[in-house]
Amino acid sequence: MNLPIVAITMGDGAGIGPEVTVGALLDPVVATLCRPVVIGDTSRLHAAAKGLGVDLKIAAVESISDAVFEPGRLNVIDLGLLPEDLPWGEVSPLAGDAAYHYVRVAAELAVAGEVQAICTAPLNKEALHAGGHNYPGHTEMLAALTGTDEVSMMLSTPRLKVIHVTTHVGLIDAVGKIEPGLVERTIRRGDEALRRAGNPAPKIGVCAINPHAGENGLFGYDEEAQKITPGIEAARAAGIDAVGPLPADTAFFLAGRGDYDLIVAMYHDQGHGPIKVLGIEAGVNITVGLPVIRTSVDHGTAFDIAGTATADPASMVEAIRQAAEMATR
């Protein structure tokens, strides 16, 4: 079977990224799902492996074509950007700059068609900015690096999947940004992602902005009728099973019991809150609309435990699994 190649970026080298990367790639299930190649620093991965007490061959390769996939071997495109004595658990401009370049290389490989998906370990936004790269996060960075005008953030757990119309903007700006075309495109990207993952007929619930979906104009300024409903109608006309606008306080309950395969949230906290209640360790962050699927753990760099060999790689394994499942074929 021709398994997809997944580029795995190591994340912030001062955080738990190296540890969860090594830990996840030790899981034998990963080799049955994809052919992973890490973009990072071999010295930091060696340190993580030593902390975990594991015997692992960490092999530097020049290119994807040089990678050899066999048990006990971890292929790394080694950028060699971090000093040997980089402290664990501290904000570092060097680590922030390096984390950017890991993602840059992964994006270049994706655009060239050399990898079929990207899975990212967490980076630290303060370190990223200190390193001279002023992006709100991975999502916006990858869009810029791949020349993609518009992407969507999807959060996925075993019980609930959510895609966002807007993400890293203030609430007032988010309401201003929402318009029928953006709503329709977000629904389409969510539908495409679920079909790619093997669901032939996704059922999609679309949230309202206002309480009780505006109560026919009682709350708000008719945003549902003007901004959301036309987008849903356009998606339905294209054959997508989309329903709404739904009151957000019940939409997630309905999805949780199985009425919907995907919920479209209008703004960041509307979608993130219910996912985080289910547990950060269960969530995977997926960027849809790029040349390839990008997934990530839905937790941060955990500086408080970095370098202690106590980070749980289960979320990274799940992120790799979903990257392989939805990889560009």
CATH number at residue 107: 3.40.718.10
Domain-embedded: residue 243: yes
Looking at the fold, whether 162 and 236 belong to one and the same domain comes out as yes
Domain-embedded: residue 264: yes
Looking at the fold, whether 163 and 140 belong to one and the same domain comes out as no
**pLDDT at residue 1, as a whole number:** 58
**pLDDT at residue 267, as a whole number:** 96
Domain-embedded: residue 280: no
Separation of alpha carbons 174 and 170, rounded Å:
6
Domain-embedded: residue 137: yes
Separation of alpha carbons 25 and 36, rounded Å:
8
The CB-side HSE value for 276 (13 A sphere, CA atoms) comes to 8
The ranges of the chain with pLDDT < 50 are none
Looking at the fold, whether 137 and 200 belong to one and the same domain comes out as no
Beta carbons within 10 angstroms of residue 12's beta carbon: 31
**pLDDT at residue 20, as a whole number:** 95
**Residue whose C-alpha is closest to residue 119's, from 21, 49, 195, 196:** 21
Q: Which two tokens stand for residue 227?
A: 């901004």
On whether the CB atoms of residues 124 and 12 are closer than 8 A, the answer is yes
Non-local (6+) Cβ contacts of 128 within 8 A are 12, 96, 99, 100, 135
Looking at the fold, whether 178 and 102 belong to one and the same domain comes out as no
Task: Give how far Cα 272 sits from Cα of 20, 82, 178, 227, Å.
Answer: 23, 33, 17, 21
**pLDDT at residue 276, as a whole number:** 81
Q: Domain tally for the chain?
A: 2
Q: DSSP letter at 87?
A: P
Residue 324's SS3 state is helix
**pLDDT at residue 213, as a whole number:** 82
Domain-embedded: residue 279: no
Separation of alpha carbons 309 and 315, rounded Å:
15
Looking at the fold, whether 144 and 293 belong to one and the same domain comes out as yes
Looking at the fold, whether 193 and 236 belong to one and the same domain comes out as yes
Chain centroid to CA 241: 24
Residue 100's SS3 state is helix
Looking at the fold, whether 143 and 232 belong to one and the same domain comes out as no
Looking at the fold, whether 26 and 59 belong to one and the same domain comes out as yes
- DSSP assignments along 225-245, one per residue: IIIIHHHHHHHHHTT-EEEEE
Domain-embedded: residue 111: yes
Q: Which two tokens stand for residue 237?
A: 């006309």
Looking at the fold, whether 133 and 172 belong to one and the same domain comes out as no
pTM of the model: 0.86
Domain that holds residue 293: 5-152+289-325
**pLDDT at residue 279, as a whole number:** 63
